Homo-oligomer: A and B are copies of this chain.
Amino acid sequence: MPEPIAAASVTESASGRKHRAILAAAEEMFLRGGYLGTNMDELAALSRVSKQTVYKHFGSKEALFVELVTTMTDAAGDRVHNEVADPAEASEVPAYLRAYAERQLDVVMTPSLLQLRRLVIGEVGRFPDLARALYESGPKRAMSSLAAAFGRLDEQGLLSIDDADVAASQFNWLVMAAPLTDAMLLGDAALPDARARRRHVADAVRTFLAAYGPRD
């Protein structure tokens, strides 16, 4: 007799709830106490599951942190890269680029993602997989997506780009590097306000278009 579908889905849902509860506790504890400062007994207690359940779901403390990094960074990436139509004509390109950049800044410059980034950078020697997970789901994904968009815009004559990967890297860092470095080194107090972000993005897009705007 086949297993009742409802029972299977209840089981899966209970397991899924535990999975999410553990990840939520991991986010709270790792971001506050750091990787080494997080105790797995306390993490299980905060998740309201047994330590055995934590290890059944995630295998190890390091694997749990890798999944936390991937989950948080992927969720942020989804918010940046949600479906946006390409611009239809050259006059729409500056606004399209500014909107992308402002969305990316809004998403990346949140205290929890910034703290995650500081944490994995501080631990890159001991736990290189953590930082690599953040790199792949974060800047690498952003730049791949940008390179693909720039390739399409070049084909349509809306941008003029020889090497889409170089252009994507330059655009990404013209936008992200200054605010991200300030936040990494000066803390959340250095986060630019909405007006400063808009001005910063406008400057970045202007410089990018001077190099990659459509040929007349």
Contact = CB atoms under 8 A, between A and B. Distances in A.
Interface string A118-148: 1111111100100110110001000000000
A71 to B, nearest CB: 17
Interface in A149-181: 163, 166, 169-170, 173-174, 176-178, 181
Closest 9 CB pairs between A and B?
A: A122-B122, A177-B177, A173-B177, A210-B211, A207-B211, A135-B185, A131-B185, A210-B210, A121-B121
B121 A184 contact: yes
A135 B186 contact: yes
A169 B124 CA distance: 27
Contacts of A187: 124-125, 128, 131
A204 interface: yes
A115 interface: yes
A206 interface: yes
A62 interface: no
Given A121-B122, A122-B123, A211-B206, A178 B184 contact: no
Given A122-B123, A173-B181, 5 more contacts: A124-B184, A124-B186, A131-B186, A176-B177, A207-B211
B132 A125 contact: no
A134 to B, nearest CB: 6
A115 B125 contact: yes
Interface string A182-207: 10111100000000000000011011
A1 to B, nearest CB: 52
A170 to B, nearest CB: 6
Contacts of A122: 34, 118-119, 121-123
A124 to B, nearest CB: 6
A84 B124 CA distance: 36
Contacts of A186: 124, 128, 131-132, 135
Contacts of A128: 186-187
Contacts of A125: 115, 118, 187
